[in-house]
Amino acid sequence: MIRHLSLEHRFVRNVPRELESGILYISMDYATAVHSCCCGCGERVVTPFTPTDWKMTFDGESISLHPSVGNWNQNCQSHYIVQRGRVLEAGPWTQAKIEAERVRDKKAKAAHYGSEMTIHPNTEHFSNERNPSVTPTQHVWSRLKSWLGL
């Protein structure tokens, strides 16, 4: 059940440690949006803007995120769409659909980041063939963690 039916946007450089419910914090410097889960559970939801993750649209008045936000790694497993600042509840997904989406996401990342990328069987990470210890998003994630104060 969605508790927050709208999100007010705030463009920020750094996200505050304590998130205010109903606020979508957007950092263009870090190409990421962060908000407190719209179901009201209080979990932090991070949506990075990348060619294979989320896209944000600002129409001068409101924000939209695409695709939907599926909080599959959280207990609430809420699923919603942010469209022009409104939060629209989307239907729940089965575990099979969630797993299929994770596979699709891995394939999209592999295709986008090139042939140097490999998906390791039975894991949820990629590696660079030239240096297997460096993932393509490692730099982005380290910047994001720094930005979030983690």
pTM, two decimals, is 0.75
pLDDT of residue 71: 93
pLDDT of residue 143: 61
CB 47 within 8 A of CB 30: no
Structure tokens at 24: 């979508």
Residue that is written with structure tokens 């797993």 in the block: 99
Euclidean distance between CA atoms 67 and 48, whole angstroms: 12
CB 27 within 8 A of CB 63: no
pLDDT of residue 147: 63
pLDDT of residue 135: 46
Low-confidence stretches of the chain (pLDDT beneath 70): 115-150
CB 67 within 8 A of CB 39: no
* Sequence ranges of the domains in the chain: 8-89, 95-148
pLDDT of residue 113: 85
Give SS3 for 124.
coil
pLDDT of residue 13: 96
pLDDT of residue 27: 96
pLDDT of residue 82: 98
